[in-house]
Amino acid sequence: MKLMSHGMLAATAAGIALTFGTLSWSAAAQTAAAQSTPARATGPIRIGVLTDLSGSLADLSGSGSVEAVKMAVEDFGASVLGRPVEVLSADHQNKADIGVQIAADWYDNKNVEVVIDLPNSAVMLAIQELTRRKNKIVFGTAGGSSDFTGKNCSPNGVHWVYDTYALAAGTGRTMVKQGGDSWYFITLDYSFGLSLERDTAAFVTGAGGKVLGSARHPLNSADFSSYLLQAQASGAKVIGLANAGGDLINTVKQAAEFGITKQGQKLAGLLMFLSDIHALGLETAQGLVLTESFYWDQNEETRAFSKRFFERTGRMPTMVQAGDYGAITHYLKAVKAAGTVDAPTVMKTMRDTPIDDFMTRNGRIREDGRVLRDMYLFEVKTPAESKGKWDYYKQLGVIAAADAARPLAESDCPLVRKSADAGKP
């Protein structure tokens, strides 16, 4: 038998010690985890509002979204299942890696059960994948890419307010019907903008129109002159603005300075919010046609909610902020009904429960995570038509939920059953 040297014996002993040390640590960790479970189950349920608090998308979501979620929690009584409900918020700075880092810390260390808002589709899609792995719940209320419920769909994700397909079906389809059968796009070069251009282009060409080209710009651009000159030179009847927030506002302002609309071309704001119109002013924005899922002055219920929101923020709510309130209310109702925060159980309860609030009538969550809701076509009033501050829209029509959502037969979501249900919305 071969004898071990003194060095080999020492090394073996060290290895055994290390092994037993690891086993002891592991057992201790398991015991601590087991002991912490009851405390965690009775501790606060936390909701994370991951948003843009300082960039170009802050007005359409931002601190207003945080306030909307707080309103929903307060109106529900600030507790569920005997546990307090708390709201955390953070700025993802429009960077997917920062957003994922924040959300991972929330999920792992802060007892966050659901993340909401997520302006910037690249961030939204990244959080969707993380949330799937962590088995939590995510509401995409501010991000628009239809890929969220398409190829990137998740059993844990809900697209609550709008998506690029709905915007294309509303504004894009209407402009073609009005004779705008040639298009040039100025597009934000990330997931949202590319999805919006793709979905709108499909409606344009499907109706017999043509897409003459596109120019793509980075987020937070200041100078759009070269893009506008390319669009002007194309001769397209419609310049589709597939961007949002500060980028959209700057594009429209500079287009007005160039006199583009006065020379016969039309601007289609494919995603515009009330906050954008407020920033632009009616003199510049008048006549723009846009699609939204909510407007503060639609009825008594929308006015009542918006009045309360205005008292807290000094602004009327955007469709994102109204959607944040509705989504969290629906979530808390589902938690109460299910008797648990277990994500699959709560998701099933939310899907089984109709959505009926001041913003959404007869809505439901489809198997791909898409909320089926009506959308509304608005035209921006002229200064003479407006009766005062925040009186900006007149409603032109309603896009029924069945027309505003991509048909399941066309879906590339792996969760969709390609069966008898495929022909349904």
Lookup result for tokens 């009616």: 282
Outline where DSSP puts E strands in 142-209: 157-159, 182-188
The answer to whether residue 283 scores a pLDDT higher than 90 is: yes
Q: Kindly tell me if the per-residue pLDDT of 5 is higher than 50.
A: no
Q: How confident is the model at residue 417 (pLDDT cuts 50, 70, 90)?
A: confident
For residue 80, what are the domain limits?
Answer: 45-162+298-374
Please give the pLDDT value at position 331.
98
Confidence of residue 17 (pLDDT cuts 50, 70, 90): very low
Residue 401 pLDDT exceeds 80: yes
Q: Is 385 found in the same domain as 370?
A: no
pLDDT given for residue 418 in this prediction? 53
Residues 249, 385, single domain; the answer is: yes
Residue 164: pLDDT above 90? yes
Cα–Cα distance measured from residue 309 to residue 287, given in angstroms and rounded to the nearest whole number: 27
Are residues 144 and 291 both part of a single domain? no
Based on the domain organization, do 64 and 153 belong to the same domain?
yes
Q: Is 120 exposed, middle or buried (0-12, 13-18, 19+ CB in 10 A)?
A: buried
Distance CA 145, CA 193 (A): 8
Express each pLDDT in 172-200 by its tens digit. 888 898 899 999 999 999 888 999 999 99
**Do 64 and 151 share a structural domain?**
yes
| pLDDT, tens digit (0-9, with 9 covering 90-100), for 333-359 | 999 999 999 999 999 999 999 999 999
Whether 153 and 200 share a structural domain: no
> Could you tell me if 254 and 389 lie in one domain?
yes
Do 134 and 176 lie in one domain? The reply is: no
Residue that is last in its domain, among 330, 356, 374: 374
Query: Is 382 domain-assigned?
Result: yes
Residue 2 within any structural domain of the chain = no
Half-sphere exposure of 379 (CA within 13 A, CB side): 9
Between CA 411 and CA 425 the distance in angstroms is 10
Q: Which of 17-31, 49-63, 244-258 has the lowest mean pLDDT?
A: 17-31
Q: Each residue of 379-397: b (16+ CB within 10 Å) or e?
A: bbbeeeebeeebebbeeee
- Are 390 and 272 in the same domain? yes
Statement: residue 224 has pLDDT above 60:
yes
How many independent structural domains does the chain possess?
2
104, 189: one domain: no
Question: How would you class 307 by CB atoms within 10 Å of its CB: exposed for 0-12, middle for 13-18, buried for 19 or more?
Answer: exposed
Q: Which residues pair with 377 in a beta bridge?
A: 291, 397
Nearest to 144 by CA among 192, 208, 194, 212: 192
The pLDDT assigned to 53 comes to: 97
Q: What confidence tier does 129 reach under pLDDT thresholds 50, 70, 90? A: very high
Look at residue 35 and tell me if it is in a domain: no
Beta strands in 81-234 (DSSP E): 83-91, 112-117, 137-140, 157-159, 182-188, 210-217
Which structure tokens are listed for 290? 């846009």
Confidence (pLDDT) at 405? 96
Q: Is residue 127 part of a domain?
A: yes
Measured over the CA atoms of residue 95, residue 98, residue 100 and residue 102, the dihedral's sign is negative
Please report whether residue 11 resides in a domain. Answer: no
The SS3 assignment for 80 reads strand
Q: Provide the whole-model pTM.
A: 0.85
Is 25 within the bounds of a domain? Answer: no
- 276 within some domain: yes
Residues 289 and 302 in one domain: no
Question: What's the CATH code of the domain at 50?
Answer: 3.40.50.2300
Tokens describing residue 243: 């961007």
pLDDT beyond 90 at 137: yes
Between residues 288 and 213, which one has the greater pLDDT?
213
- Is 75 in the same domain as 124? yes
Confidence label for 419 from pLDDT (cuts 50, 70 and 90): very low
Average pLDDT, the chain: 89
Across residues 27-46, what is the average pLDDT?
A: 53
pLDDT number for residue 196: 93
Asked if the structure places residue 419 within a domain, the reply is no
